Amino acid sequence: MAIPNSTAFNSIIRFRSPEEEKRIVSELTTSLNEGDSYFVISKRSLQILILVDSSYVVHKLNVACRWYTSWQKYIASIGGGAPRPGPIDNSDIIDDTTSDGDPQLRRYLVEDEDYVLVPRQVWKTLLEWCMSLSIYLSSLLMHAWSPLKMLYARNVHNVTDIRLAKEASIRELYVKVCAKSLYVKVKQARIWDYLNRRKVKLLDPLSNASLEESGLLMDQDILLEVDEVGLAGLVNLGNTCYMNSTLQCLAHTPSILQYFLRDYTHQGELTKAFGELLKELWSSRKKALAPSFFKTKLDKAAPQFSGHYQYDSHELLISLLARLHEVSDVCQGQCKSTLVCPVCGKIANTYDSFTSLSLPLPSTRTWSISFLSCLENFLAEEPLGPNNMWFCPESKEKRKANKKLDLLKLPEILVLHLKRFRTSKYFVKKIDTFVNFPINDLDLSKYVKNKNGESYLYELYAVSNHYIGPGGVRHYTAYAKLIDYNKWYHFNDSYVSPVNESVVRSKAAYLLFYRRRVGSETKAQSSEVSMTD
């Protein structure tokens, strides 16, 4: 909202007689042309002027207490019997409690009772006579405004206000509704006239009929149904299942998806290719897409993944996040590594950032372990091995030391890497231990040193899985959740299928993707979850 310069109104205004003002306003009112803009002037105890132009841009002007009524009495009096209205003021028909922060006209105003309409030239003349400033509003605030309540078919308790003029068409309603829903295109949407929790009529997205003509009244409910999107698979280009698994997890990361679905100009060929692939995944009706263009750009940007060999999904994830500078911050946390030398009492602190936490799994033969026990072991103080002793800068000797890791800040998107591979000189062994990790309520608040009163409550939304088949053949898949629909799906290269949430926890879980519940009032339950087969 901007307040225009008041210099133009600071000139000396010659006060006219009541008869002269009445004549001028009468002449201006009779010389109207089609398409002229009108102002709303309040007739209530406190007044307001609103300019509604042809683009439905509204300009608010303060008007004095009983100003219009007082002015009518003034021009009706002969010889100045009634006093001339004073400085302009207002408040009573403006609602300052709206969620978007801009003042709006109150609802249920009645023409000729709460307000009157005057042409632009009348408004300008009254404005000059009153030496007032106008305050500009950027949203539609006119008597023809028709606020609607949009409900989502997937969750009718989720309600969004839609503000349009009564003259707006059904076609414009579809555009407005889809703009409110990030993932939705007009061709995927169906809007219903929704009365008393019943579908009354499906609205035609091509219709030019106005909301008023279509019977959509103030505060009327409309229902939005959307074809599910984000369910396209990725073709395996030859041992690229590790890439497909990682890409599906990132494609279903809300903050990353929101960034790339907007029309930003992305720097770097790999970033552009990644953004184009995400847009295609969330708009295509194809069952599977071939990520060939992205793979070409990946080979160029990160040659270590070139060719058609089987690489590691965690290594690819770290490499991608390092290159996707625009969104890497949402995955970035901070930690402190402390080295303590018992012999000399020296302490050395090192501060680092991370985009994932790699949690070692116990080497003992254990059928299952708790996720939190893995995390606590990861953060516990431990002695450095004989091949990793601390070099003391004073004695210039290597000494035994203990290492302790502290979490200082956790990111919005937390990626946890379960270290399932143990490498020796001659072989790589996979640890197939079942890790019992939380899905809906992972509360890490007590593990963060610098909480500042913040809650670190997370929910799982994606998993990268690793399997070893006959003959040692490795394969990656992904589980990802369509958060808006509260449904889980299995992404196995080109094949996508719905799954029950209970199957997401498995011995194949390799990368866990959690998103933080910012400002959630939900009290975290125990992070220890019941054991499942």
Whether residue 249 lies in the annotated active site = no
Please state, in angstroms and as integers, the Cα–Cα distance from residue 116 to each residue in 38, 43, 64, following that order: 10, 7, 15
* 255 phi/psi in degrees, rounded to 5: -65, -35
CA–CA dist 165, 323 (Å, integer): 45
CB 113 within 8 A of CB 43: yes
Q: 110: which DSSP letter?
A: -
Among 8, 24, 27, 6, residue whose Cα is nearest residue 16 = 24
Whether residue 475 lies in the annotated active site = yes
Annotated catalytic residue, options 130, 241, 335, 374: 241
**Single-letter amino acid code for the residue at 272:** K
Please state, in angstroms and as integers, the Cα–Cα distance from residue 500 to each residue in 479, 488, 504, following that order: 10, 7, 8
For 133, what's the count of Cα atoms within 13 Å in the CB-facing half-sphere? 9
Annotated catalytic residue, options 252, 314, 475, 490: 475
Diameter of the chain by CA atoms?
110
Note the helical H segments in 216-351.
241-251, 254-261, 269-281, 292-301, 313-323
CB 500 within 8 A of CB 488: yes
Report how far Cα 102 is from the mean position of its chain's Cα atoms: 21
Q: 448: which DSSP letter?
A: B
CA–CA dist 45, 42 (Å, integer): 8
Strands 413-419 and 357-360: parallel
Please measure the distance between the N-terminal and C-terminal CA atoms of the chain and give it in whole angstroms.
59
Strand order of the β-sheet with 220-226 is: 155-165, 145-152, 220-226, 189-195, 198-202
Name the residues annotated as catalytic.
241, 475
